[in-house]
Structure 1
Amino acid sequence: MCGIVGIIGKENATDILIQGLEKLEYRGYDSAGIFVTGKDKQDHLVKSLGRIADLQTKIGPEVQGTVGIGHTRWATHGKPSERNAHPHTSSNHQFILVHNGVIENFEEIKQEFLQNKQLEGETDTEIAVHLIEHFAQNGLTTKEAMKKALTVIEGSYAFALIDKNNPDTIFVAKNKSPLLIGLGDQFNVICSDAMAMLAETNHFVEIADGEMVTVQADKIEIEDTKGNLVYRESYEAQLDLSDIEKGTYPYYMLKEIDEQPTVMRRIIQEYTDAIGDTMIDEKIVKKIIASDRIYVVACGTSYNAGWVGKALLEKMTNIPVEVHLSSEFGYNMPLLSEKPFFIFLSQSGETADSRQVLVQLNELGLPSLTLTNVAGSTLSREADYTLLLHAGPEIAVASTKAYTAQIAVLAVLAKAVGDSKKNQSSLKFDLAHELSVIAAVMETIIDEKMSISQLVEEYLSTTRNAFYIGRGVDYFVSMEASLKLKEISYIQAEGFAAGELKHGTIALIEEGTPVLGVITDRKTAAHTRGNLKEVESRGAHNFVISLGSLSKETDQLIIPDVHPLLTPLVSIIPTQLIAYFATLQRGYDVDKPRNLAKSVTVE
């Protein structure tokens, strides 16, 4: 959600900004813009509604400079439009600002400081740049004016500001929204995500909340809220540019579905030793064993993975587990147990809803672990412990490989804790071997793309609605499967506990309604088949995904058997492909569904 890039000290600033914005397209946006200038003070502000490609068509050869900022906007305040697109300028056109986040008190700022200002758009960002201008016109330097504005502004923000009268500096600040400084040789860059500037540098400096940074071509200076200089070592981003390219794939989502077997094997390598024993930091294991309840906190796909994780953790560790939505937990915290342990699931590690929960827990001194795909991300830095997913960059908005990676790493964690407790008979299996089997089965399912595409054409090509049903972990898979289908194909899909159909939901079944049943659990298989018969008698068009040992000849998709605890890792794969082909057949953009952002960095 929203992306910021900036560059100072290179002749081809425009090209670098555009390339950086293209790398941030995965975050979701509805408009984009750049501002470039240089020592000759020839200024160029270009904005466009739509895609980066639309912006590029408006950039002429004269748009050149050595310093610039760029932005992709996802509308929060004000509808998507060119006038609401960033960068925004002050009324005297001296200051140019890009912003990611939400200014909560923008109305109050407008009333107190800007009553006589004529605003061009409807965004909270425009309020911020006018506020900086207001303080500068009262005798403060640009740096002082921005610092003063930060004391007034409430909410989340990542700011990058240029003063056209002094184009040798970009002023940067952040609070709750991600922003990094990239270090180069006689140049420096700014970005919301390291992958945006990997073509320029792989050395980055993190910025803490409340800090302000002055960025020049040959140096950066970080100041805390009291004005004290802060020195922080840079880190090397462990990313490969080839990992974030589509290669021969038409869409990132298809590439990322295909990468899941490799991700499983990478997790085996990272978290198990040569004889298959789990390798998890003993401090994490001891903390979990000492707890009386585990709380999994997450959003969206990660929340669905958390429910599968609950089943794994409870069966392997014998510790009760609760799963909570971050956006609810933060403002309606339940009564906690005496010795809680918190696990945060987040692909990006920047999820704002989860972060505001973690801030509260840190104030209470409660232990936490983040499972994330991004080393050095905010949730990783601020939690007590981190386990990386090792899934590689995930670009498509619809998460696939991060979901299965989260479940696999949760399985490794559960096995490590259970082995340490030595009290669960269900632990007597070789997890490394079973995950190897999972990887092979994933490949088998992925190889069935064409037959899955044909089934999608038969069952989902014209439908407005669809339902996934299952029991136990199959219900959890149904939740994620329906999310995948609805978020990219726009079919109104829901995942239901199969046994709940007769308690009201069956009223939604009409003639021809697709109902996709997931059957991988032996003890509930017959019950789910009974529920499928119930909806079939009301006109449903049934589509069954079943485990080989539980299958019937009439089932549409049959999955090879895997260890009973790990079936969600394979039963989800066909549903990812179902969502992919349903979207493709309807002519929609698989990677960039409407109204959605990959990284949700505002609450």
Structure 2
Amino acid sequence: MCGIVGIVGKNQAERVILNGLHRLEYRGYDSAGLFVADESHHHLVKSPGRIKNLEDKVTAEVTGNIGIGHTRWATHGEPTEENAHPHTSQSGQLVLVHNGVIENFEEIQQNYLSEHTFLGQTDTEIAVHLVEELKVKENLSTKEAFRKALSIIKGSYAFGLIDLTDLQTIYVAKNKSPLLIGLGDGFNVICSDALAVLDQTDTFVEIEDGEMVTVTADSVVIEKQDGQVVTRDSFKTQVDLTDIEKGTYPFYMLKEIDEQPTVMRRLVQEYQGDNHQVNIDPALVAEFAQSDRIYIVACGTSNNAGWSAKTLIEKLTNIPVEVHLSSEFAYDMPLLSAKPFFIYLSQSGETADSRQVLVTTNKLGHPALTITNVAGSTLSREAKHTLLLYAGPEIAVASTKAYTGQIAVMSILAKAVGEYKQIQAAKEFDVFHELSIVASAMDSLINDKQHIKDLADEFLATTRNAFYIGRSNDYYVSMEAALKLKEISYVQAEGFAAGELKHGTIALIEEGTPVMAIITEEVTGSHTRGNIKEVESRGAKTLVIVTEKLAKPTDQIVLPTVHPLLSSLVSVVPTQLLAYNATIQRGYDVDKPRNLAKSVTVE
């Protein structure tokens, strides 16, 4: 849930590291630090808070041609300078950065390091002390001590290690946490995300779990735990540096909301084959069609996207769909059907909870599809099939275009499977035409920003609590709408099935409580209208988001007409803008909300 950047073989390593850490800010963090060195000097600089705080402490003499940097999201120990990475060994000879969680750090401390003194409270400091303890006590090289430490350490990790007596090498290892090697001309880099070093290189080498890598300025040697050397081809990233720039936008989130119509059109271009046929691997379509139940496994916003796609998949394929939270499914797997098919939704493709489930379902031999925004990510590599969102980098912590992209991709897949099965509803559903209409509808809502800002001013400027309500698919969108509002504006927001309000939750309605109702379905619209009256009679202040066909003159946000199966792609847009504006009103950082991380790589 944090970021690593390192480089060997290039002067002013500190600038490369700082620039890379800035590009990793979107992942979420609470402290940062860097270590740089050359043959004459070495410097360790750390700071709690923003990277700007660290940058202010990096004076002119802090420079070198090798270094590692880190942004930390606290798991063990408070976000202080002492707990910030990089960490040093007992003697100070070894310097280490780490992403992940070491599960047996207390056992290691008791069994190996009882006489050591620690500066902070992190599991990472335990790890670097362990490497040095093995190096000294067993007279090992740094590389071999690192290898042995990896055999002792249990948990998730991405490590970058430097020995002050060998300033030409960075030792790297990975398990359940993302890390890449970037190949340069006369230098090499390490990074948690290719975005961090796109100004340095577009060529990368993947590292698999359990591997250790020795990185110098002119070589990259990958080894398995037993020392066997692995040869692996490099790949070129498809992301352009301009994709991660804000341009004239004040925040990435607003830019990404505005990009959603483009994402819809890009998905049409990428997945539409000849004669409007769906261009998806026939083997994936056949395997999906032959299953007797679909299990969508995801976290957070991706889980909400799964719920929003559940109905359309069932209607177009005639296959029942279950939606599960990864963190629950991993340790309490339900009784599975005879021929299950798994869909894993993850913007980053690195979500640790989802990967935990994927590892299990792979062992059981069940087919799996990952739908992700990041080609070559862990969930993509380890699932049998992958479909990409083609949404471009999503930098803001609060996901917007990935959510709508996931639903759109699942609608395209469902169309292909339904046609394969000769389902009439799928034959009649022109998914590419309908997604083009969705894109135009999104454009219309995005162009109405000022009206939505005015509503945010009226309804959300000072409230402590808020509710979204809806029925059927509108309920699923309500869950996502509430999540957006709470995660960036810190308003205590909840999404509820409208009919459930009277079964307890209506007790929370007070004079002036904002209740936002979503109405896109004719069959349930009148019932939700009744629920609106119920909360209004208890003092609620209501805002209605409704399709044109069902709108009344007093409704505040009217949605352009789209196919009923794709209504969630349109109804969610104003809720994203409401959350964005509520956050601006309160003076909070839209892109980097407190306590949250973009890529959740710990369970």
TM-score norm. by structure 1 comes to 0.99
Cα contact 1:297–1:342 (8 A) shared by 2: yes
Q: How does 1:410-429 map to 2 (within 5 A)?
A: 410-425=410-425, 427-429=427-429
3-state SS of 1:590 partner: coil
Question: Does the 8 Å contact 1:551/1:558 carry over to 2?
Answer: yes
Could you say which residue in structure 2 is the equivalent of 1:197? 197
Write the letter of the residue equivalent to 2:46. Answer: K
Q: 2:21 is matched with which residue? A: 21
Residue 267 of structure 1 aligns to a residue whose secondary structure is helix
Residue correspondence of structure 1 range 159-558 to structure 2 within 5 A: 159-425=159-425, 427-558=427-558
Secondary structure of 2:57's match?
Answer: coil
Residue 275 of structure 2 aligns to a residue whose secondary structure is coil
* Displacement after TM superposition at 1:426 (Å): 5.5
- Show the counterpart of 1:572: 572
Pairwise CA distance, 1:38 = 1.3
Shift of 1:127: 0.2
Map of 2:57 onto structure 1:
58
Return the offset for 1:68.
0.1
Whether the aligned pair in 2 keeps the contact of 1:317 and 1:424 (CA below 8 Å) is no
Q: 1:302 touches 1:346 (CA, 8 Å); kept in 2?
A: yes
CA–CA distance in structure 2, aligned partners of residues 27 and 388 of structure 1: 20
The alpha-carbon deviation at position 280 of structure 1 amounts to 1.3
**Which letter maps to 1:485?**
L
More displaced 10-residue stretch of structure 1: 378-387 or 496-505: 496-505
Q: Is the 8 A contact 2:418 2:426 kept in 1?
A: no
Q: Distance in 2 between matches of 1:395 and 1:28?
A: 10
- 1:111 partner amino acid: Q
Change beyond 3 A, Cα 1:537–1:426: farther
**TM-score normalised to structure 2 length:** 0.99
Counterpart amino acid of residue 306 in structure 1: G
Question: Which stretch shifts more, 415-424 or 216-225?
Answer: 415-424
- Residue 85 of structure 1 corresponds to 84
Amino acid of the structure 2 residue aligned with 1:43: H
Which stretches in structure 2 are left out of the alignment for 5+ residues?
A: none
The Cα shift of 1:186 comes to 1.1
What one-letter code is carried by the residue in structure 2 that aligns with 1:64? T
Residue 238 of structure 1 aligns with an amino acid whose one-letter code is Q
Aligned pair in 2 of structure 1 residues 414, 520: CA closer, same or farther (>3 Å)? Answer: same
How far residue 424 of structure 1 moved from its aligned partner, in angstroms, is 3.0
Aligned to 1:101: 100
Number of corresponding residues: 602
Give the partner amino acid of 2:401: K
Q: Retained in 2: the 8 A contact 1:103–1:153?
A: yes
1:158 corresponds to: 158
How far residue 274 of structure 1 moved from its aligned partner, in angstroms, is 4.7
Could you tell me which amino acid in structure 2 is paired with residue 571 of structure 1?
A: S
1:155 aligned counterpart, secondary structure = coil
Other structure's SS at 2:248 match: coil
Aligned equivalents of 1:109, 1:425: Cα separation in 2: 59
The whole-number CA distance in structure 1 between the counterparts of 2:309 and 2:37 is 51
- Distance in 1 (CA, whole Å) between partners of 2:427 and 2:129 is 61
Give the CA deviation at 1:309.
1.4
1:68-98 residue CA offsets vs partner (Å, 9 max, x unmatched):
0000000000001000000000110000000
1:72 paired with 2:74, answer no
**Bigger shift: residues 457-466 or 415-424:** 415-424
Match in the other structure for 1:591: 591
In 2, the alpha carbon distance for the partners of 1:390 and 1:452 equals: 28
In 2, Cα distance between equivalents of 1:423 and 1:106: 55
Aligned-partner residue type, residue 85 of structure 1 = A
Is residue 147 from structure 1 mapped to residue 151 from structure 2 by the alignment?
Answer: no
Distance in 2, matches of 1:320 and 1:263, equals 28
The one-letter code matched in structure 2 to 1:548 is: E
Matched position secondary structure for 2:338: coil
Q: In structure 2, the residue corresponding to 1:598 is in which secondary structure?
A: coil
* Aligned Cα root-mean-square deviation (Å): 0.7
The answer as to whether partners of 1:180 and 1:191 remain within 8 angstroms in 2 is: yes
More moved, 375-384 vs 356-365: 356-365
For the pair 1:114 / 2:94, whether they are aligned, the reply is no
Deviation at 1:363, TM superposition (A): 1.0
**How far is 1:275 from its partner?**
3.1
C-alpha contact (below 8 Å) 2:317/2:426 kept by paired residues: no
- Extract structure 1 runs of 4+ deviating beyond 6 A: none
Q: Which amino acid aligns with 1:53?
A: K
Asked whether the equivalents of residues 277 and 432 of structure 1 are also in contact (C-alpha less than 8 Å), the reply is no
Q: 1:544 to 1:427 in 2, by over 3 A?
A: farther
Please list the CA deviations of residues 5-25 of structure 1 after superposition, one character each: whole Å capped at 9, or x if unmatched.
000000110100000000100
